Amino acid sequence: MTTPGKTASTPPAPVTEVSTHCPYCALQCGTRLHGDREVGVRARPADFPVNRGRLCQKGWTAPDVLTAPDRLVRPLVRGPDGRLEETSWDTALDLVAERLRALRARHGPDAVAVFGGGCLTNEKAYLLGKFARLALGTSQIDYNGRFCMSSAAAAGNAAFGVDRGLPFPVGDLRDARTVLLAGANVAETMPPLVHHLDRAELIVVDPRRTATARRATLHLQPVPGTDLALALGLLHIAVVDGLLDRDYVQRRTLGFEAAARRAMAWWPERVESVTGVPASAQREAVRMLGRAGSAYVLTGRGVEQHSQGTDTAAGFINLALALGLPGSGRGGYGCLTGQGNGQGGREHGQKADQLPGYRPLTDAAARAHVAGVWGVAPDDLPGPGRSAYELLDALGGDHGPRALLVFGSNPAVSAPHAAHVVERLASLDLLVVADFVPSETARMADVVLPVTQWAEEEGTLTNLEGRLLRRRALLPPPPQVRSDLLVLRDLAVRLGEPPSRYPSVPREVFEELRAASRGGKADYSGISYERLDTGECLHWPCPDTEERHPGTPRLFLERFAHPDGRARFTDVDQRGPAEKVSPAYPLHGTTGRVLAHYQSGAQTRRVAELSAAAPEPFIEVHPDTAARSGLADHGLARVTSARGSMTARVRLDPTMRPDTLFVPFHFPGDGRANLFTHPALDPRSGMPEFKVSAVRLDAVPEATP
């Protein structure tokens, strides 16, 4: 078989300095990269609006991953002795295609599944969705963004008619008098963003006294999983204390009465008894928001990653609407999207129920439009598939997929109930992972495909404020390393697709994406590499209009995206976590992030400076809680839930709630937080309950030296 990839793309010519963006989080800080493989690559902060000359520790050290000692530089195939062995691209891709064809012939197209990631550029996410629907003909595609902001997205779509994490530029936060941060630890997760909050009074809602909470004027410390009760209580006080913006509610919204009726049952003392947040602090929070000339309500994963995460996000949106903030030009609601391309990655078709341009896969007009761009019949497009955890859970089962292709995720560490997910991955007939480092998931694969990294490729990403950004190459990739786009193309061709259907040059893929998104909610049709390269600031929607459309930095100023232009309150009520604490599991176990590591840690655990800053997992717990389990500071302990247990040393913190413990999820093996997390899913978004499980803390006897 020939290798179409070999001649298809010319590697980028070496340059010595380039303007691009950090590979990690959704802030997408602007960086200047310079150097080469010989002298080493260095990143410097650029004066870009979101980071204004700042980077966090991860951004400064990101180039180290380019030269990680165990970087994947050759395709690997599992040999007869069970070990991964180097091979050629032709051998690896021929093998994958042959086995996919065989599985499909035997079990049907849904026997092959795809798992994508919010780290993929828009071009990759788009081509991955197209590849799944056309080359594989499968409905079984979803991605890790389901674990990330899917609850806020579902709530935003319902309330506003569209989901763009921040419907305003980050810089608008500088004019805020008060900002409510619900379940977001931005001082560790988006440090340069904190600079935009310098002048605001912060209200932080977090069970832990985080670096962010320490900067706050008011810190509300609820029991994990009770945020919706708190949001209902704040709405209650706003109504009772006369802080409701009646004119705005009447002119710009629907559904207030039902939502307010529900909130009337949540008087401050009842909220205090459920959440632990004193009634006086609730009143103070509403006073701070209500009397501010300009106020923002922002949510993060702390309130969203719950089996009632969508309703909880809706609860905070209700509060913002009651105060007359969204689209008022003097405040608003936003969700702080997480991954580098968490926004764009949820718009262009790697999601189970979605086509490019943020179009619903079940909508006949949407199917017809995209099928037209792809040159197929609408009926050729499969229907919606399983959501991320449901997909992982079904792998290898009686009716589940027999093969999985992973692009941009490390679910062996980051998925809930990880031991079960690992077992499902192991039961597959074929696991293929494209990555640039041997992640824990890649190590389990039958075939590993080595792909390019951020500084070796071109593309676009959409940051947390819906702004399109150009990723630019500083270096040519190592000789045997290929782009995800090329991998998808070469596989598609081997599966019988015409090569012309799979452009592998990012700019060409973007041109097709523009056409596919035209007329959709996330309309990119007026955006081009040329416009971005001249430094234009373009937020979607940016339709291809006769007069160059300037993009839309601020949504909702005139109207919301529902046909009648009005926002919707949602009638929501507190249900509580899927699992209650009990004598056997008396503590609330929650999880999250530390500054030095990113996600499953696959990248940052390979950076010496970051590993030195945060070398191992830990269990953050109140000293009294530790003492009850016979533990002193640094004692070895086990956290156990009904799913399983993880092991780490305790870190005592007297500011912790005594009924709660916290574990970061960046570490593999026995230190995986996800060994105890609960895969209960939010019925509206498919979000798992990462942020609260009923757990027990036990000391682990240590061998005496």
Ligand X SMILES: Nc1nc2c(c(=O)[nH]1)N[C@H]1C(S)=C(S)[C@@H](COP(=O)(O)OP(=O)(O)OC[C@H]3O[C@@H](n4cnc5c(=O)[nH]c(N)nc54)[C@H](O)[C@@H]3O)O[C@H]1N2
Window contacting ligand SF4 (CB under 6 A); options: 19-27, 105-113, 491-499, 510-518: 19-27
Q: What is the 3-state secondary structure (H, E, C) of 583-628?
A: CCCCEEEEEECCCCCCCCCCCHHHCHHHHHHCCCCEEEECHHHHHH
DSSP symbol at 568: E
Q: What are phi and psi of 132, to 5 degrees?
A: -65, -45
Tokens of residue 90, six digits = 């032709």
Least CB distance to ligand SF4 at residue 61 (A):
9
* 3-state DSSP assignment of residue 173: helix
For residues 222 and 551, which CB has a smaller minimum distance to ligand X in the complex?
222
Tokens of residue 553, six digits = 């930095």
Between the CA atoms of 318, 323, 325 and 328, what dihedral angle is there, to the nearest 10 degrees?
130
For residues 50 and 234, which CB has a smaller minimum distance to Mo ion in the complex?
50
Least CB distance to Mo ion at residue 604 (A):
14
For residues 191 and 222, which CB has a smaller minimum distance to ligand SF4 in the complex?
191
Between the alpha carbon of residue 164 and those of residues 122, 152, 153, 338, 529, the distances in Å are 15, 10, 8, 12, 21
Q: Is 453 in the site for ligand SF4 (CB under 6 A)?
A: no
User: CB neighbours of 641 closer than 8 A, spacing ≥ 6?
Assistant: 579, 585, 589, 676, 677, 678, 693, 694, 695, 696
Query: Rounded CA gap, 371 and 364, in Å?
Result: 10
Tokens of residue 317, six digits = 């949106």
For residues 412 and 469, which CB has a smaller minimum distance to ligand SF4 in the complex?
469
Count CB atoms within 10 A of the CB of residue 558.
Answer: 9
Name residues contacting ligand SF4, limited to 33-52 (CB under 6 A).
51
Provide the greatest CA pair distance for the chain. Answer: 77
Q: What does 28 bind: Mo ion, ligand X, ligand SF4, none (CB cut-off 5 to 8 Å by kind)?
A: ligand SF4
Least CB distance to ligand SF4 at residue 216 (A):
20
Least CB distance to ligand SF4 at residue 54 (A):
8
Q: What does 125 bind: ligand X, Mo ion, ligand SF4, none (CB cut-off 5 to 8 Å by kind)?
A: none
- Are 540 and 552 contacting, i.e. CB atoms less than 8 angstroms apart? yes
Name residues contacting ligand SF4, limited to 274-293 (CB under 6 A).
none
Backbone dihedral region for residue 644 (phi beyond 0: left; psi -120 to 50: alpha; all else: beta): left
Q: What are phi and psi of 366, to 5 degrees?
A: -65, -45
Binding mask 189-228 toward ligand SF4 (x if CB under 6 A, else -) reads -xxx------------------------------------
Query: Rounded CA gap, 467 and 274, in Å?
Result: 39
Tokens of residue 372, six digits = 């037209």
Between the alpha carbon of residue 412 and those of residues 17, 244, 392, 510, 595, the distances in Å are 36, 47, 10, 31, 22
Least CB distance to ligand X at residue 441 (A):
7
- Residue 84 is which amino acid? L
**Number of chain residues interacting with ligand SF4 (CB under 6 A):** 14
For residues 103 and 119, which CB has a smaller minimum distance to ligand X in the complex?
119
Q: Is 471 in the site for ligand SF4 (CB under 6 A)?
A: no
For residues 340 and 478, which CB has a smaller minimum distance to ligand SF4 in the complex?
340
Least CB distance to ligand SF4 at residue 14 (A):
24
DSSP per residue, 237-296: HHHHTT---HHHHHHHEE-HHHHHHHHHT--HHHHHHHH---HHHHHHHHHHHHH-SSEE
Window contacting ligand SF4 (CB under 6 A); options: 1-9, 27-35, 136-144, 229-237: 27-35
Q: What is the 3-state secondary structure (H, E, C) of 73-130?
A: CCCEEECCCCCEEECCHHHHHHHHHHHHHHHHHHHCHHHEEEEECCCCCHHHHHHHHH
Report the helix count and the strand count for the chain, using DSSP H and E: 23, 29
Q: What does 677 bind: ligand SF4, Mo ion, ligand X, none (CB cut-off 5 to 8 Å by kind)?
A: ligand X
Measured from each CB, the residue nearest to Mo ion is: 338
Least CB distance to ligand SF4 at residue 392 (A):
26
User: Binding ligand SF4 by CB under 6 A: which of 5, 18, 20, 28?
Assistant: 28
Q: What does 593 bind: Mo ion, ligand X, ligand SF4, none (CB cut-off 5 to 8 Å by kind)?
A: ligand X
Least CB distance to ligand SF4 at residue 597 (A):
10
For residues 356 and 664, which CB has a smaller minimum distance to ligand SF4 in the complex?
664
Least CB distance to Mo ion at residue 432 (A):
23
Least CB distance to ligand SF4 at residue 118 (A):
13
For residues 336 and 394, which CB has a smaller minimum distance to ligand X in the complex?
336
Binding mask 55-94 toward ligand SF4 (x if CB under 6 A, else -) reads xx-xx-----------------------------------
Least CB distance to ligand SF4 at residue 195 (A):
11
Q: Are strands 141-143 and 112-116 parallel, antiparallel or unpaired?
A: parallel
Name residues contacting Mo ion, limited to 330-349 (CB under 5 A).
338
Name residues contacting ligand SF4, limited to 544-573 (CB under 6 A).
none
- The answer to whether the peptide bond before residue 222 is cis (omega within 30 degrees of 0) is no
Tokens of residue 265, six digits = 């049952």
Least CB distance to ligand X at residue 183 (A):
3
Query: Rounded CA gap, 42 and 63, in Å?
Result: 6
For residues 150 and 354, which CB has a smaller minimum distance to Mo ion in the complex?
150
For residues 52 and 443, which CB has a smaller minimum distance to ligand SF4 in the complex?
52
Q: What does 428 bind: Mo ion, ligand X, ligand SF4, none (CB cut-off 5 to 8 Å by kind)?
A: none
Q: What does 51 bind: ligand X, ligand SF4, Mo ion, none (CB cut-off 5 to 8 Å by kind)?
A: ligand SF4
Q: What does 435 bind: Mo ion, ligand SF4, ligand X, none (CB cut-off 5 to 8 Å by kind)?
A: ligand X
Q: Is 154 in the site for Mo ion (CB under 5 A)?
A: no
Q: Characterize 134-158 residue by residue with b for buried, 16 or more Cβ atoms within 10 angstroms of its Cβ, and e for exposed.
A: bbbbbbbbbbbbbbbbbbbbbbbbb
List residues near Mo ion by CB under 5 A. 148, 338
> Where along the sequence are the contacts to ligand SF4 (CB under 6 A)?
22, 24-25, 27-29, 51, 55-56, 58-59, 190-192
